[in-house]
Amino acid sequence: MTASENTLASGKFFRFWSAANEPRAVVLISHGLGEHSGRYEHVAAALTADNLHVYALDHIGHGKSPGKPAYIDRFSDLTSGVSELRDHIR
């Protein structure tokens, strides 16, 4: 498993774990309130071992993404980040 860290155009942070072999699918992890993408490294390890690429976003105000800690003003603040990462993956 190879891990990397990056940011989207909006400044939101994400992690990517790549499978050692040709991936059979891609998984996008969306964490819960008060969490961050780094807490899912053990999940990524299991998934990449099964030839899956794994992406995990730090939602706004979580982990290394900008914003007031754990504060979500609108649900669209969450969904826009997931959509942006999905578009980046494509």
Under CATH, what is the fold of the domain 2-89?
Rossmann fold (3.40.50)
> 1-23, pLDDT tens digit by residue?
899 999 999 999 999 999 999 99
Displacement of CA 60 from its chain's centroid (Å): 11
Rounded Cα–Cα distance for residues 70 and 54 (Å):
23
Tens of pLDDT, residues 55-71: 999 999 999 999 999 88
Question: What is the structure's pLDDT at 9?
Answer: 97
**pTM over 0.85, yes/no:** yes
Q: Which residues pair with 48 in a beta bridge?
A: none
Question: What is 22-79 written as a DSSP string?
Answer: --SEEEEEE--TT--GGGGHHHHHHHHHTTEEEEEE--TTSTTS-SSTT--S-HHHHH
* Percentage of residues of the chain with pLDDT beyond 70: 100
| Residue ranges covered by each domain of the chain | 2-89
Given a cut of 90, whether residue 77 has pLDDT beyond it is no
